[in-house]
Structure 1
Amino acid sequence: MIKCIILICGPPACLKSTLIQILQLLFNHYQILNLEFFCIKKFDEIFNRKKQENIYNFLSFDDLFFNYENDIIENESNWKLYRLLIANEIENYILSRIEKNSLINLKYSSQILNRLYESLKNLHHNSILIIEDNFYYSSMRHRYHQIAQRAEIGFAIIHLYSNIIIALERNQKRHISKRVSNISIENIYSKYDLSNDDLIINTTNQGLTCEHLHQILQRIEQACNKPEQQLNLIDNNEQRRLATEINQQNIIYQIDQKLRKFISKYLKEEFLNNEKFQIINEKKLYAEMINNKRQIFLELIKHKLILFNNNEDIENLFEQFLKENI
């Protein structure tokens, strides 16, 4: 059991990583940080008390997905599955459940879970778990609220937000290895679901200020002092719903793996037998089009607009789909 879960959310380039770095410096007693001196009058009482009482554990999805992110975000079903896996394992860990989640089988499951367990290994009853990610859908955040309710621990959501123009400018100033595409940033902004019930920190004009840090530390303290209440509604029905969702997502993932192997073989045969594919650009465009058809096919299955049974050959079904749609 831990004391509290804090979600640090927001679109790219809104200073989430900067906030995490500042909090790490503060909570790890770094004496070189001038910020502590300048802000001491504003949050001395909260800061000094928390340094003695609590252990802060920081968990970043970027760190968990490092070197695997391109594969993971390639399609939305895959992306959701990994996040579901992580949330489930965090819940198991916090509630000291021995059983492991055997329904989700993903390419990088073992590597990512090893990183996750390494990040969680020092948790204890006074720990505060701070998780950083975009969390732009409210449903992503709701899953962790449920965990806090089941564990009857504190919970808070802190949004870092800014004008999209400023976010794009900040993104361009990043090291090239850490930049996010403008399209991705614009996409997240278009989907981002802010809630007025949460703490919203606007970093547009002044970035992160001492007053912002004061508000954030106060919100963390409030969450620690007011644990969430267990809701009877989320027990059996929610567990069944989650089990069904996991099973459905896993089926989609297994189908996707079969289709990828089929497409690899299919493209080799097409390129070998068709003279127009002697031009490299033609090969690239055709491969992109086929993979787009794979995404559409998966979405149709997911929404039960294409039905099949377990005995049916999914590769043949997809090949027929290609013939009808190319």
Structure 2
Amino acid sequence: METNLKNNKNICLILLIGIPGCGKTYLTNFLVNHLSKNMFSSNSKYFSNLCVIPVSYDDYISYHTDSNVMSWKQRRTDVFIGVEEFILYFKGYKNSLNSKLYVNNNYCTDNKDNMFIIIDDNMYYKSMRYEYYKLARKYEISFCQIYLEASLDKALEYNKKRDGVSIVPEQIIIKMNELIEKPNTSNNSWEQHSLTIPAFINFDEYLVLNQLYNIILSALESPVKDVIITSYENYEESKRITNCNLVHQVDVKLRNIIGNYIKQVKHNNSQIRYIADCVNNKRVQLLKDLKSGIFTVPPNIISLLLSSSRSDEHNKCLNNYFLDILTNDIYCDK
């Protein structure tokens, strides 16, 4: 995909996250109403001359008739392809829309300057959300997430109030509640534009409304950029930046490991000061060797360190690797 898009129209992907029964569809309707009627802001260029495309996954799957997991995945893929088609059309890469999403929505996008696509799905795995982030990066559009945090009991209670065909089997809600991976802005830089709000609250309350407005506006003001290296000089600069970032990430990880290690041994060892000095000296020497090229980090460890998304298993792997280096044959001048 070329980086020079055909027009400068603004697109914002808004992902809703939460277990079934937490009120995502209600929030979708609320956002559609407020965005369409320009109730967020009349002064911002982003909130005028716009169209809003709500995409509800429940419209394309039935938890009662589509019991096959592969069927769910295929439906999700179809929805994803349809969303990308909307982006291509709005950006001027396609002359027509054929997606089922368009047939279901039939919203007019012509002559609009701004488009909001609201993805109403559970998005309980961060890998699901990351696919949409990559889509935003590919076309350099805006991306944000809104997580509706609900207790399992409340979600089950709300689910029972749905119409018969809309009721989600309880075992599915219970399973999703166990599996859901909440947005983590600390570990995942790509989730920086994320908002967590309690389910079943009044979205019209000023503070809540302001939070919703701010998270969408911040995403619009900072579209995801797809960085492409176009020259040898840029390539060398990119390598230098990556290396500096690697040293920084190693330092951060080592400090974290040392802190936890000292806490574990301090109750069992009278020589705690000596051990602390030793591991810190090894940290300093390790960083020097890394900068000079004497010490090299294995590619798989580099990949984990520079990853924008780390699982608990990945962090365990990093901790074991560096802790072994720090504590193996501890030495220092006494």
TM beyond 0.5: yes
Equivalent residue number for residue 56 of structure 2: 60
Give the letter aligned to residue 108 of structure 2: N
Bigger RCO of structures 1 and 2 (CA < 8 A, at least 6 apart): 1
Kept after mapping to 1: 8 A contact 2:53/2:107: no
CA distance in 2 between partners of 1:120 and 1:10 (Å): 26
Output the TM-score relative to the length of structure 1: 0.55
- Does structure 2 retain, via aligned residues, the 8 Å contact 1:135–1:141? yes
Amino acid at match of 2:173: I
- 1:134 pairs, out of 101, 122, 144, with 122
The residue type paired with residue 15 of structure 2 is L
Structure 2 residue identity aligned to 1:56: V
Structure with greater helix percent: 1
With over 3 angstroms needed to count, the CA separation of the structure-2 counterparts of 1:93 and 1:85, relative to structure 1, is same
- Normalising by structure 2, report the TM-score: 0.54
SS in 2 for 1:227: coil
Equivalent residue, structure 2, for 1:79: 72
Can you give the 5+ residue segments of structure 2 that lack an aligned partner in the other structure? 1-8, 186-193, 230-334
Task: Please tell me whether the aligned partners of residues 82 and 101 of structure 2 are also in contact (alpha carbons under 8 angstroms).
Answer: no
CA shift for structure 1 position 152: 0.4
Which amino acid in the other structure matches residue 215 of structure 1? Q
Q: For 2:160 and 2:133, how far apart are their aligned partners in 1?
A: 34
Structure 1's unaligned 5+ residue stretches are: 31-35, 37-42, 101-109, 234-326
- Percent identical among aligned pairs is 26
Structure 2 residue 87 is the aligned partner of structure 1 residue 94: yes
Larger Rg, first or second structure (1 or 2):
2
Q: Which residue, out of 13, 22, 26, partners 2:21? A: 13
Q: Deviations over 1:47-93 (max 9, x none)?
A: 6645534322211112233xx5544x322122112212321342244
Q: Decide which of 127, 145, 168 is 2:133's aligned counterpart.
A: 145
Query: Structure 1 pair 125/164, CA: closer, same or farther in 2 (3 Å)?
Result: same
Deviations 1:161-202, CA, capped at 9 Å, x for gaps: 111111112122333332222111101111111013221111
Residues 1:29 and 2:25 aligned together:
no
CA RMSD, aligned part only?
3.0
Number of equivalent positions: 205
Q: Distance in 2 between matches of 1:116 and 1:130?
A: 14
Distance, in Å, in 2 between the alignment partners of 1:179 and 1:69 is: 8
Q: Counterpart of 1:8 in structure 2: which amino acid?
A: L
Between the aligned partners of 1:125 and 1:48, the Cα distance in structure 2 is 15
The aligned runs of 1:164-183 (5 Å cut-off) are: 164-183=152-171
- What secondary structure sits across from 2:67 in the alignment? coil
